[in-house]
Structures are given as structure tokens and as C-alpha cells.
Chain A
Amino acid sequence: MSDLIEIRWHGRGGQGTVTAAKVLADACLSGGRYVQAFPEYGPERAGAPLRAYNRISSNRLRMHCPVLEPHVVGIVDATLIDAINVAEGTPENAMFVVNTSKGPAEIRTRLKAGERQKVFTVDATKIATDCIGRALPNFPMLGAVVKVTGLVTLDHLLEDVKKSFGKKFSQKIIDGNLEAVRRGYEEVTEG
């Protein structure tokens, strides 16, 4: 069980958080790993806080309940830091990945992160606006989470993101999203 990685995502309805969790699960299938991706179902409204979860392990996953002690917390909307306890249940070596234009030191203070907890930031909303013209921060956040966790390589992730678009979208939209993932991966910084 030692290689089990549990992730909790915090976002707001409409930001693509659940999609990020799903694409991550699919990408992590490689190497014979077991994966789970599931949101917390409630009244689904744009803008309402939501949680989604991932489990990734080389052993069969049997646990069917929310992640209570996440190793990684992905915060897709930084306004949630003041609204809910995003650090709930985090172990002392947990990692936070936050979508914000602020620096990691400032966010570390706001999160009241522990000494051994790591805080990473990435301006995922700006990246998304640059790359796809819409404030959809999920794919830059996915790139950032993959960078800090090392769960899969960037190339592998890009392949899976491409696959998730299927045949319904124009090349321009797909390329913009791939660039958003790549920039999220490259621009995430630790503080």
C-alpha cells in the first residue's frame, strides 16, 4: 500500500475539475497501475464548490469512499482557501498545488501549511486564457499536478489529453489545450 497516492481536487462547478481527475486516471493506467477518479455528487451548479478524488496504486484499489487524508491537494480555485478547509486531513508531508497569480510564499501563509508540507503555485487561469481564450484552468492544473507528483511523463500526459478530446474538436482547440497542459507543467513553482 506504500505506493498509494491519493489526490483531492477542490474546484467550482464549471472549471473542468472533474474532467482533470478523469484524464489523470486514464493517463495513470500505464504500467499496470490501478486508478480511481470520482467526484462528490451534490446539486451540480456552476460556481458551487465541488470536490473530486483520485487514487493511484500498483495494488488493486478496493476502498470505495472519499479520500480523507490526501497526499496531494489540487486547488483549482484559490477563493476556496478562505471559504472551506482545503487542508482537512492532510498528512504532514502533503503537497498543495494552487491556481493563483500570487507567489507560493504568500499562498503558504494563507494555507497555514505545515513545515514539511509543500506548496506549489501556477497561474492556470492566465495560461488557459492565453492558450484557449477561456478561463478554464483544469488542464494547466493537470500539467502542474503531474509535474510535482511525477505520476507520468509530460509526453504521456499530452497523448492522453489529446485522446480525451476524441474527434469532435478542431485541431486549434486541441492544440490550445495541449499547450495549456505543457505550460502548466513548466510554469508551476515551489515556495
Chain B
Amino acid sequence: MQKVVAVTGNEAVANALRQANPDVCAAYPITPATDMMQRFASFVSNGEVDTELILVESEHSSMSACIGASAAGGRVITATSSQGLALMWEMLHIASGDNLPIIMPVVNRALSAPLNIHGDHSDAMGARDTGWIQLWSEDAQEAYDNTIQAFRIGEHLALRLPVMINLDGFIISHSIERMEYLEDKAVEDFIGEFKVVNALLDLDKPKSYGPLILPDLYIEYKRLQHEIMSRVKGVVLDVAEDFEKLSGRKYGLFESYRLEDAEVGLVIMSSAAGTAKDVVDSLRVKGIKAGLLKPRLFRPFPYGEMAASLQNLKAVAVMDRADSFGGYGPVFMEVSSALYGSSKRPALINKIYGLGGRDFLPAHAEETFLELVDIAKGGGIKTIKEYIGVRQ
């Protein structure tokens, strides 16, 4: 039995965290993630979880406390956004390098300067190379489902990796939507008991975390991290299969929407993908063979699978809600890397959209599709990287 509710994205994810009943949560408030941790703190105060809540003085400290608690042998969570994630940066590498399966929802928000609190993917894209698994969510339901699955993925004995679950700030975190909660017992059984590995608090078997490794072995250690990451896709798919049995909701490495016979397509993440799907449907009615690919697992990136899904299209626009000034958008860089090895591949353009919470409207998706139709007809690419929805 699933319970139908109308809740915000933050409330939905806070409930998934409650159902996982972590041992430790170390948190520091930042908009728009504040409200998620505030709700979780209420669960702690009301005795609905067994979690020890540590209120710290910064995000650098929250991640440090998470690392200590995780190494000690506990199931550990936190959540953050934007500058908070940026301040965690050096500790993010330590969490992954020490194989600590910390679970962290990231409510995506723009980075300063100038100061902006709204939805944008710059924060988590900046954490791309920190060695964390990244899952991205379209709406409150996906954010909830991804959070539950994240515990199974990160805590898997073949991985033991930290996981970020991304959801769009305000657009999802603060909007009320209909979604379905799984029963507490079903989630508890699905996630299973936390398996302690190399606990620092196991005093009979002393361990050392984060020792000095000199040039004679450092690259071997990093090579191993890459190898562990290469196992993630399989685990993500296995967990998704079990989750579908439980919930009826299907997840993969990414979602393909009307892509099989498509000639033009968008690669677009998170909440904007929903808006773009409605546009795909309306273009199909007009006889335009439009399709869409929505990335879910961004780290590790499923290069081969994505290339196979996109190589037969004629023209594709990769949509980025983050930028690399003087470079292409981060998703574009991955998609073009994925396609370079294919003998057949579509023309590829990059659109930067929605920075700092600027609305992504159906008209933006439509005008991009029409540009792709023109390119597909042989009209040629005018500019590879362009910004959309910019006021002149």
C-alpha cells in the first residue's frame, strides 16, 4: 500500500531519510535545503528516528562530523545546497576516498557571486570530480525514490561510496506536488540493516583511516577508486529492479522518452525535463519526431549506454543548467565524449538555460526543437553553445 500525499520536495525527501532511520545526522542550514533538515530535526525531537543529530557551525564541519561518524561505523546523512556544498569541497574527497557511504540530498542552487538562492545545477556540477555517486531527480517522487535507493547503492558491500541525491531548489524543494509514500516497514525492509565495515569503534581490531600514501602507491589507490566506480552502474540497475517490484516505478541509468524513432532530441535533467516532455508530446502531434533523454546517474556517467540511445538521431541539443565559462556546459561535455566513439552520431549543440532560477518555459524547449529540425534538414549549426531565455 502506498499513501498518496501532496507535499513539497523537501518534505518528501525528509520522510525518506526518516524511513531510513540513520544513526547520525550532522547538519547546518542553508536555503533551500534548510527546510528538509528542519523537518528531519523534528523527527529526531519527536522520537520518530534513533538518529543523533549534531548541529555544527558550518558545512565544512557537518561533512567532517559525517566522515567521523561514518568511519566509526554508522549510517550517516546530511543535506545541503550551493555555498554549503562548496564549503564542504575538501571533505567531499575524503568521504569518497575513505569509502564512506554518506547519503546527502543536495537541493540544487546557484553559486555566488552575485548572490542568488534559486534553482541551478552549478553546485553539484562543481562536485562532479569528488568521487561521489550522483543521482538526479525530476520531481518530488523521484527525489524520494532516489533517496531510498541511494542507501542501497552507497551501502552496497561492493561499493561503499557516498551518494548525492539532487533535486531542483524551490522548483521542486518548495513546490507541493502529488506523490506516493511507501510504507515505513517496506522501506526498512528494502534498505535493510546497515552493515558495518572497518569500524573505527571496533577497538579489538584497530584501523587507520586516511593515512599518508606516497607516490609509490597513490596512483594505485586512485585507480582502485575508478574501478569501484565502474561497478556502480550494475548496482544502480539491480537496486532499481528491486525498487520497481516494491513500488511499481521504473528507474534506469537515464530515462528515454519517445526516443526510439526520434530524429531530434533534447538531453535535459531534473525538473525542466518534465516541462520538455509535454513539448515533445505536442510536437509529435504536429508530426515532428521529437524525443528526450533525461540523465539520472551522472557520476559515474553511462557513456556507452547513452551513446547507443542517441547515435541514431539527426540532431541533439544538450541542455545545461550550469556553465563552464570559456568551456561548454558540463552535461554537453559528457554527451559529446560519449558520442565521439560512435561511427554514427547526431549533430550536437549546447544550450545554457535557467541559471539562478530563471524559468524554463515550454517555448524554450520548442524553439530549441525547431532549431534542431532545421539542423537535421541540413541547415547547419550556427553556434555550438548558446544561452536561451536571456533578456536583451
> Which residues of A come within 8 Å of B, CB atoms?
22, 25-26, 29, 32-39, 41, 61-66, 68
Contacts and interface: CB of A to CB of B under 8 A. Distances in A.
A37 B357 CA distance: 17
A65 B359 contact: yes
A86 B168 CA distance: 28
A65 B177 CA distance: 13
Contact of B118 (A33, A35, A41, A63): A41
Contacts of B5: 29
Contacts of B362: 63, 65
B360 interface: yes
B284 interface: no
Contact of B277 (A33, A38, A41, A62): A62
B178 A62 contact: no
Contact of B275 (A25, A34, A63): A63
Given A64-B171, A64-B172, 16 more contacts: A22-B176, A25-B176, A26-B176, A29-B5, A29-B178, A35-B177, A37-B175, A37-B176, A38-B175, A62-B274, A62-B277, A63-B274, A63-B362, A64-B139, A64-B274, A68-B361
Interface residues of B, number: 26
B305 interface: no
13 contacts: A25-B178, A26-B6, A29-B178, A32-B4, A35-B6, A36-B175, A36-B178, A38-B171, A38-B174, A62-B138, A65-B360, A65-B361, A66-B359
Contacts of A25: 6, 176, 178
A39 B359 CA distance: 13
A21 B78 CA distance: 30
Given A26-B6, A29-B4, A63-B362, A36 B275 contact: no
A37 B6 contact: yes
Given A63-B278, A64-B271, A64-B272, A36 B360 contact: no
Contacts of A36: 175-178
Contact of A29 (B6, B171, B274, B278): B6
A45 B322 CA distance: 30
Interface string B172-203: 10111110000000000000000000000000
A65 B170 CA distance: 11
B272 A41 contact: no
Residue among B6, B139, B277 having the largest count of chain A Cβ atoms under 10 Å = B6
A41 B117 CA distance: 10
A63 B138 CA distance: 10
Contacts of A22: 6, 176
Nearest to B175: A38
Residue among A26, A32, A37, A38 having the largest count of chain B Cβ atoms under 10 Å = A38
Contacts of A65: 275, 359-362
A22 B178 CA distance: 11
Given A25-B6, A63-B278, A35 B139 contact: no
Contacts of A68: 361
Contacts of B139: 62, 64
B176 A38 contact: yes
The 6 lowest CB-CB distance pairs between A and B, nearest first, are: A62-B274, A38-B175, A64-B271, A37-B176, A26-B6, A34-B178
